[in-house]
């Protein structure tokens, strides 16, 4: 039997979303990144068009990474203490995007002001020319004053901003509409709420075609199989025609993987599992490649070694799939 006869003939494809704007498009990025477009069960090229390669974003913080674990500090060296230098070091690893998380604005971190946050955004946009994600500190009240300023500072750059949630979406959606950014719609491992957030954003005028679904991410060993099944169910519904689940999916792997004890604990604490220097990046990479199989379109990572491993995995999967 010819494998193409096994194609399920899906009705719809994952939306194609472009992030970033070059000079020609009114921004200052050196390139844009396009994600989505798949119309098949992930990586089964005979089932339908594979779409674009999943994109990788490297996470950095506006306040530097001095609170990050030792393995990550070592990987970036001195640059990690200065967001602009850190951004340059991360961009040199050749990711598709940078993911700037505004943790410095968190009330229990530096509690920095919206103006300071906007200044950081401008400085990083000036220092590197790859497309940018900007993520709040996840305290709604603070995000609602910080993110509009960050959005304005990045106007025209077609960034990806997050995150809109069921109980807190209006401010961010309005900013993204006004300043021309893409939107992360977050839901707490709940496919019903994933649809609901999309409806809410759409009701206030935000196009469904510009949304990226963030269904919440878990590290390997911490519920990733549950995330996997949610992503799988959403993707199959989207391919079957559900317009509220046709958005590309984002996995925030780095922040979760580096909370896992398997990634960070010393050899003394976890005898037999090998040196943390290799184990940490491996835990992060495996957490990510797992989600590649569930149809992740955009993955946020932290460690340079994990990024290289996942880049290689994507290339192998992609080449195999398009050859089918």
Partner 1 sequence: MYIIGERINGMFKNVRAAIEERDKKVIQDLALAEVAAGADALDINVGPAKADPLEALYWLVDTVREVSDKPLAIDNPKWELMEKVIPRVKGNGIINSCKADPEQLEKYLGLAVENGVGLIALTIDQRGVPADTETRVELGAQIGAMAQDAGLPMHDLFIDPVILPVNVAPKQPENLMAALRQLAMLSDPAPHFVVGLSNVSQNCSNRHLINRTYLVMAMTAGLDAAIVDPLDTELMNQVITTELLQEKMIYCDSYLDAYRMAK
Select from 99, 132, 245, 250 the one that contacts partner 1 (CB under 8 A): 245
Alpha-carbon distance of 168 to 273, in angstroms, equals 41
Task: Give how far Cα 307 sits from Cα of 156, 199, 297, Å.
Answer: 28, 34, 15
In the complex, least distance from residue 196 CB atom to partner 1, rounded to whole angstroms: 4
Contact by Cβ (8 Å): 99, 57: yes
| Nearer to partner 1 (CB atom), residue 193 or residue 263 | 193
* Burial of residue 112, with CB atoms counted within 10 A of its CB: 0-12 exposed, 13-18 middle, 19 or more buried: buried
> Looking only at residues 225 through 244 of this chain, which bind partner 1 when binding is defined by CB under 8 A?
233-234, 237, 241-244
> Looking only at residues 72 through 101 of this chain, which bind partner 1 when binding is defined by CB under 8 A?
none
In the complex, least distance from residue 234 CB atom to partner 1, rounded to whole angstroms: 8
- Reduced to 3 states (helix: H, G, I; strand: E, B; else coil), residue 135 is strand
Select from 202, 255, 293, 313 the one that contacts partner 1 (CB under 8 A): 202
In the complex, least distance from residue 194 CB atom to partner 1, rounded to whole angstroms: 8
> Please, which residues bridge with residue 113 across strands?
none
In the complex, least distance from residue 10 CB atom to partner 1, rounded to whole angstroms: 15
193 scored as a contact of partner 1 (CB under 8 A): yes
Written as six digits, the tokens of 296 are 């992740």
Select from 199, 204, 269, 275 the one that contacts partner 1 (CB under 8 A): 199
> Looking only at residues 107 through 166 of this chain, which bind partner 1 when binding is defined by CB under 8 A?
none
| Nearer to partner 1 (CB atom), residue 204 or residue 269 | 204
Written as six digits, the tokens of 34 are 């396009």
| Nearer to partner 1 (CB atom), residue 9 or residue 271 | 9
Reported residue count of the chain is 324
Applying CB under 8 A, the site for partner 1 has a residue count of 18
Task: Give how far Cα 182 sits from Cα of 13, 28, 161, 301, 313, Å.
Answer: 19, 16, 6, 20, 27
| Nearer to partner 1 (CB atom), residue 99 or residue 231 | 231
Contact by Cβ (8 Å): 214, 163: yes
Backbone angles phi, psi at 81, to 5 degrees: -85, -15
* Burial of residue 108, with CB atoms counted within 10 A of its CB: 0-12 exposed, 13-18 middle, 19 or more buried: exposed
Alpha-carbon distance of 276 to 71, in angstroms, equals 8
| Nearer to partner 1 (CB atom), residue 130 or residue 244 | 244
Alpha-carbon distance of 28 to 128, in angstroms, equals 10
In the complex, least distance from residue 52 CB atom to partner 1, rounded to whole angstroms: 24
| Nearer to partner 1 (CB atom), residue 161 or residue 201 | 201
In the complex, least distance from residue 252 CB atom to partner 1, rounded to whole angstroms: 22
| Nearer to partner 1 (CB atom), residue 8 or residue 270 | 8
Residues forming contacts to partner 1 in the complex (CB under 8 A) are: 191-196, 199-200, 202-203, 233-234, 237, 241-245
């Amino acid at each position: 039997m010819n494998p193409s006869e096994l194609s399920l003939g899906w009705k719809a494809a994952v939306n194609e979303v472009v992030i970033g704007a070059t000079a020609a498009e009114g921004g200052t990025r050196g390139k844009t990144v396009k994600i989505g477009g798949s119309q098949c069960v992930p990586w089964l090229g005979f089932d339908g068009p594979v779409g674009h390669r999943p994109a990788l974003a490297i996470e950095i913080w506006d306040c530097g990474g001095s609170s990050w674990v030792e393995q990550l500090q070592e990987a970036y060296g001195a640059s990690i203490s200065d967001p602009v230098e850190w951004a340059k070091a991360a961009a040199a690893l050749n990711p598709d995007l940078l993911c700037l998380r505004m943790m410095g604005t968190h009330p229990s971190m530096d509690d920095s002001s919206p103006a300071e946050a906007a200044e950081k955004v401008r400085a990083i946009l000036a220092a590197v020319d790859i497309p940018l994600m900007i993520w709040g500190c996840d305290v709604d009240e603070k995000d609602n004053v910080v993110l509009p300023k960050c959005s304005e500072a990045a106007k025209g750059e077609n960034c990806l901003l997050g995150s809109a949630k069921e109980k807190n979406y209006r401010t961010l959606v309005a900013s993204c509409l006004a300043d021309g950014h893409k939107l992360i719609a977050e839901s707490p491992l709940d496919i019903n709420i994933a649809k609901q957030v999309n409806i809410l954003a759409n009701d206030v005028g935000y196009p469904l075609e510009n949304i990226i679904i963030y269904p919440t991410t878990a590290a390997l060993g911490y519920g990733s199989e549950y995330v996997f099944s949610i992503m799988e169910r959403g993707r199959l519904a989207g391919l079957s025609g559900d317009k509220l689940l046709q958005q590309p999916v984002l996995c925030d792997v780095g922040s979760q993987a580096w909370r896992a004890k398997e990634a960070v604990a010393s050899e003394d604490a976890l005898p037999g599992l090998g040196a943390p220097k290799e184990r940490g990046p491996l835990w992060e990479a495996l957490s990510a490649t797992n989600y590649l199989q569930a149809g992740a379109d955009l993955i946020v990572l932290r460690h340079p070694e994990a990024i290289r491993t996942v880049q290689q995995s994507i290339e192998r999967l992609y080449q195999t799939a398009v050859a089918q």
